Amino acid sequence: MGRTPLLHVVRRTFTTPSNYVKTGNLTSSATTTHFGFENIAEDEKQSKVHTVFANVADKYDLLNDAMSVGVHRLWKNYFVNSAPLLPNSRCLDVAGGTGDIAFRLMERDPNGIRDITVFDINQTMLDVGMNRAKEEKSLNLNKLKWICGNAEALPFEDNSFDLYTIAFGIRNCTHIDKVCVMFF
């Protein structure tokens, strides 16, 4: 797609950009956007993306394996192993879906993580993730939080997290500029 599909940002200060909130002048002026190989009206994208993931949620992990021949596991392992984890980190995994990144972070360093919030716009994906987590006996469920919301408007106070991750999620968002200003 020509875009980086995996991204992590580590900051001690996690700040809502006040100039963005006040003026909104970073909003894209385009009225169409990409959806797969199509160009569609911007205001249609969120519901189309939502429908796609709601429909595949219970098969999402299987589909990922089938479509990438398992290679997504290697990308995700590499991504998580290269994340700059600080001791006792509060982690936010945006567009976290069924929890693949969160589970790997937890497995990488169970003691180094204070908690991980899996944040996604699609409650069905989060529900699948929560069920997976319950079946995964090695995970400390008390450290996992599941929150439904939009990556373009994170509902968190400044300085709430030490590590922000987003994997295969930015391309699904309508306003990538809004997603990006959220982690700076």
Ligand X SMILES: C[S@@+](CC[C@H](N)C(=O)[O-])C[C@H]1O[C@@H](n2cnc3c(N)ncnc32)[C@H](O)[C@@H]1O
User: Which residues in this chain contact ligand X in the complex, by CB under 6 A?
Assistant: 49, 53, 95-97, 100-101, 120-122, 125, 150-152, 167-169, 172-173
CB of 67 to ligand X, least distance (A): 11
Identity of the residue, 65 or 87, whose beta carbon is nearer to ligand X in the bound complex: 65
Q: 168 is written with which tokens?
A: 């295969």
DSSP letter at 142? G
Q: Which is nearer to ligand X, 4 or 111 (CB)?
A: 4
Q: Which residues does 52 contact at the CB level (< 8 Å), separation at least 6? A: none
Cα–Cα distance, 97 to 99 (Å, whole number): 6
Closest distance between ligand X and the C-beta of residue 3, in Å? 13
Q: Which residue is nearest to ligand X (CB)?
A: 97
Task: Compute the least distance from the CB of residue 50 to ligand X, in Å.
Answer: 7
Nearer to ligand X, 85 or 167 (CB): 167
Q: Residue 159 Cβ, how far from ligand X at the closest point, in Å?
A: 21
Residue 95 or residue 116: which is nearer to ligand X going by CB? 95
Smallest Cα–Cα separation from 89: which of 103, 109, 75? Answer: 109
C-alpha distances in Å from residue 104, one per residue of 40, 80, 81: 35, 7, 9
Give helix 123-135 / helix 60-68 axis angle, nearest 10°.
90
